[in-house]
Amino acid sequence: MNIEEAIRTRRSIRAYEDKPLEDEKLQAVLEAARLAPSAKNDQDCKFLVVRDAATRAKLVDACKGQRFVAQASAVIAGCSLEPERTMSSGLRSGPIDLAIAIDHMTLRARELGLGTCWIGAFDQDQAKKILGIPEGVQIVQFMVLGYPSEDPKPRHRKPLDEIVCYEQWS
């Protein structure tokens, strides 16, 4: 599968098979995150991988009752170690760095026949408590990972001419 195909066919997967995730595949997905670019190459990312079923079950509640969080083989918390760090644009770099790394993971997972879903709906304090994450660290996103048991149709995207303009704002 080439990059174009992975981009075109990736979907958010919310139903997973009860099938163990091979360590090599998990490592390959994490390696895609490691290779992602980051602001000033600071690599302000840490990934906490949760495979334990009891912990995943606890995370369902912290993730606003999204049950498939417990169904997938792994849940990965993408964390920023310096959540207050800003760039000269005034924007915080942590969420941007994490978003790139997670997107790399979703595409590599797709190539490996795995499904993923971003989880942005979660209670920060509750999730941190469950996972023993220290005060100064922020969870930016969770990503669930496992073998998909659904094959959703592509979701609507705006056409290019609606999201792109050239030379001057219009």
Sites of contact with ligand FMN (CB under 6 A): 11-12, 14, 66, 117-121, 155
Q: How far is the CB of 168 from ligand FMN (least distance, A)?
A: 29
Buried b (16+ CB within 10 A) or exposed e, 130-142: bbebeeebbbbbb
Residue 134 near residue 1 (C-beta atoms within 8 A) = no
Select 12 or 149, whichever has its Cβ closest to ligand FMN.
12
Region of 110 on the Ramachandran plot (φ > 0 left; ψ -120 to 50 alpha; else beta): alpha
List the Cα angle 72/73/76 in 5-degree steps. 85
Amino acid at 17: E
Q: How far is the CB of 66 from ligand FMN (least distance, A)?
A: 6
Q: How far is the CB of 110 from ligand FMN (least distance, A)?
A: 11
Q: How far is the CB of 123 from ligand FMN (least distance, A)?
A: 12
Nearest residue to ligand FMN by CB is: 120
Select 12 or 43, whichever has its Cβ closest to ligand FMN.
12
Select 26 or 116, whichever has its Cβ closest to ligand FMN.
116
Distance of CA 7 to the CA centre of its chain: 15
Q: How far is the CB of 119 from ligand FMN (least distance, A)?
A: 4
Q: 142 has which bridge partners?
A: 77, 119
Select 68 or 112, whichever has its Cβ closest to ligand FMN.
68
Select 9 or 27, whichever has its Cβ closest to ligand FMN.
9
Q: What are phi and psi of 58, to 5 degrees?
A: -65, -35
